[in-house]
Amino acid sequence: MSADHESRPTFADVLAARRRIRPYLAPTPLIRADSLSDALGFDVLLKLEVLLPIRAFKVRGGVNLAAADHAAGRLPPVGMVAASTGNHGQSVAYAGRLFDVPVRVFVPEAANDVKTRAMERLGATVVRTGRDFDAAREAAEAYAAAQGARYVHSMNEPLLIAGVGTLYLEALEEAPDADVIFVPMGGGSGASAAGLVAKTVNPSARVIGVQAEGAPALHNAYRTGRLEETPAVKTEAEGLATRVAFSLPLAMIRDTVDDVVLVSDRELYAAQRLLLRHARVLPEMAGAAGLAAALRARDELQRRRVILPLTGANGSDDELSRVLSEGWD
């Protein structure tokens, strides 16, 4: 069973999500990165989602969904099923533990061990299957249908998007005069949430989605209006590595997001190094996508206020070693 995929969340749903998750998740800080701001010539406001319990923004959506379903009696005894490259699975696992519901997460065969071990520590059963996220997703959907589980789609799920919207509600309440928000974008739950909130709270703020050059399905779909698919993904940023676009976030993004841009893996690593050097924080590659895009637009952003959500800090050991071993200049 699953929610109505075509039912868009509203701003009222985001407000309800904030009330729902507040007993479980505290707001995260929004800080001005002074050294980075001085170096780049614009105000860099970092939203530290890396401080959440699973060190990633997606936990907001998982807790909102599980709390809502628990209150409505919609969580079956067999529990919840998800597919994930890591952070979504951790989100559902964390929520399952909060509400004492079994969770099974399907991950690609080569999934990040840091994230899979975290899911298992949270009590989830992890099933490795398929060459990429979308293959794992298909296996999860089949299993959930056969077992009668609550399938938690990582994108076509209004309660998840509403929960993620609380991130941008917090940020814009602290920085109501922000000019631009750069949002890392894999399947688009974050960008759709950011667009929904920004266009309600501060319609003059530009929302820019940021995808990896090697995984441009949603970038392409944003331009064509069709559910685009790529045959493979070619990025090491697993949080951005999806080869298909999904209906609900695509519809929302086309209505509320001002642009979608692409960045290379090289630019993502450079952004990670800058964040470590100037702000002493180290997000995973996907979490640095906002800064990577802002660096490209540096000349246009002079003297502007820019919100960059650091959406996750669950990089693999190999990824962290690469960032730490390469030069920072």
What does the pLDDT look like over 168-208, one tens digit per residue? 999 999 999 999 999 999 999 999 999 999 999 999 999 99
User: According to the model, what pLDDT value does residue 315 have?
Assistant: 85
Strand, helix or coil for residue 295? helix
Percent of the chain with pLDDT over 70: 97
Q: pLDDT grade, residue 212 (50/70/90)? A: very high
Select from 3.40.50.1100, 3.30.1330.10, 3.20.20.450, 3.40.605.10 the CATH code of 11-56+158-325: 3.40.50.1100
Q: Is the pLDDT of residue 254 over 70?
A: yes
How far, in Å, are 17, 65, 71, 314 from residue 193 at the CA level?
12, 15, 23, 22
Q: pLDDT grade, residue 242 (50/70/90)? A: confident
Which region among 170-174, 178-182, 241-245, 308-312 has the lowest average model confidence (pLDDT)? 241-245
pTM above 0.75, yes or no: yes
Q: pLDDT grade, residue 325 (50/70/90)? A: confident
Q: Rounded CA gap, 245 and 264, in Å? A: 19
Q: Is the pLDDT of residue 38 over 70?
A: yes
Which has the higher per-residue pLDDT, 18 or 2? 18
User: According to the model, what pLDDT value does residue 1 have?
Assistant: 38
Average pLDDT (58-64) is 98
* Nearest Cα to Cα of residue 312 among 28, 101, 102, 40: 28
What does the pLDDT look like over 134-168, one tens digit per residue? 899 999 999 999 999 999 999 999 999 999 999 99
Q: Is the pLDDT of residue 329 over 90?
A: no
Beta strands, E only, 186-266? 206-212, 259-263
End-to-end CA distance of the chain: 50
Q: Is the pLDDT of residue 237 over 70?
A: yes
Average pLDDT (320-328) is 74
Please work out, in degrees rounded to the nearest 5, the angle formed at the alpha carbon of residue 271 by the alpha carbons of 186 and 224.
Answer: 35
**What dotted CATH number matches 59-151?**
3.40.50.1100
User: According to the model, what pLDDT value does residue 328 have?
Assistant: 47
User: According to the model, what pLDDT value does residue 6 have?
Assistant: 57
Q: What is the DSSP letter of 243?
A: S
Q: Rounded CA gap, 243 and 241, in Å? A: 7
Which region among 27-36, 120-129, 288-297, 309-318 has the lowest average model confidence (pLDDT)? 309-318
The answer to whether 249 and 186 have CB atoms below 8 angstroms apart is no
User: According to the model, what pLDDT value does residue 324 have?
Assistant: 80
The answer to whether 159 and 72 have CB atoms below 8 angstroms apart is no
What does the pLDDT look like over 73-104, one tens digit per residue? 999 999 999 999 889 999 999 999 999 999 99
Q: pLDDT grade, residue 5 (50/70/90)? A: very low
- Mean pLDDT, the chain, rounded, equals 94
CA dihedral 263, 269, 271, 273 (to 10 degrees): -170
Percent of the chain with pLDDT over 90: 86
Q: pLDDT grade, residue 2 (50/70/90)? A: very low
Domain boundaries along the sequence of the chain: 11-56+158-325, 59-151
Q: Is the pLDDT of residue 4 over 50?
A: no
